Structure 1
């Protein structure tokens, strides 16, 4: 079951592409969070989405907002991906236990072994204020994230 608007966002603790631990709770009371789940690094649609975020980064990562992108890739894969694509925001590994955070948000596709394209805008109190979940082949519209952030 996917987390819905109004739900408290499940906390998680994941390693980023540099091996550092990132917790959703670290941003509580400090920043709104755009939490983006994507299937895999180095795939066409995912690379396009993450590079579009890179190109508009000040809208999604600033004094008021933190962008967190989560896949089921290993941290080592994410580091190479971030370096290759110039991604200067946290790429979090939901590799082990495999898909634990993705499952908590209801966006893990058991038959594929990866997350589908789920995005959650979480306010400073840790409450989900906006969400969209797309299937594996369907890219998301970044302008919708921006609108959701402006509404906070």
Structure 2
């Protein structure tokens, strides 16, 4: 099965995912209210993912000041994500795509490993995909400064 990344300018696929705070989060709940950065990451407790999630926590106010909600998404189960968040004192809620539905909808699931590649999707308040970047390998990541520069273009 070949997965396709949604095209910039198209409606962003909606999802319902459990978060580390016990709520179910949908993309639709932000429509008309906030821009959203979906940040798919491969696995909790791995070095690049840990550095990335800690950087989102450190720069949380920079995203919030630009009206952006950061939603990190991984295929890990909620209990694993809660432990990951607690261990590194992360300020962002993490979303569990345990059934891999969001990863498939966004074309990021790597079927051979059954986890998502690292990828970023910027969705505007109207629910339209405005920018995306899928890493060549899961071990690389964008810097927040690059992501914030894309947000500034909204």
Q: TM-score, normalised by structure 1?
A: 0.95
What number of residue pairs does the alignment pair up?
Answer: 150
The 1-side partners of 2:19 and 2:63 are apart by 17
Tell me which of 119, 128, 149 is aligned to 1:147. 149
Residue 73 of structure 2 aligns to a residue whose secondary structure is strand
The 2-side partners of 1:73 and 1:116 are apart by 13
Q: Which residue number corresponds to residue 107 of structure 1?
A: 108
The 1-side partners of 2:7 and 2:50 are apart by 26
1:27 to partner: Cα distance:
0.3
Q: Map 1:1-152; keep pairs closer than 5 Å.
A: 1-62=4-65, 64-95=67-98, 98-134=99-135, 135-152=137-154
The 2-side partners of 1:145 and 1:139 are apart by 10
Q: 1:83 to 1:62 in 2, by over 3 A?
A: farther
1:62 to partner: Cα distance:
4.7
Q: TM-score, normalised by structure 2?
A: 0.93
The 2-side partners of 1:111 and 1:55 are apart by 33
Contact 1:39–1:114 (8 Å) recurs in 2: yes
| Cα deviations by residue, 1:74-130 (Å, 9 ceiling, x for unpaired) | 0111111111111111200000xx211000000000001100011001000000111
- 5+ long unaligned stretches in structure 2: none
The 2-side partners of 1:62 and 1:44 are apart by 28
Deviation above 6 Å: which 4+ runs of structure 1?
none
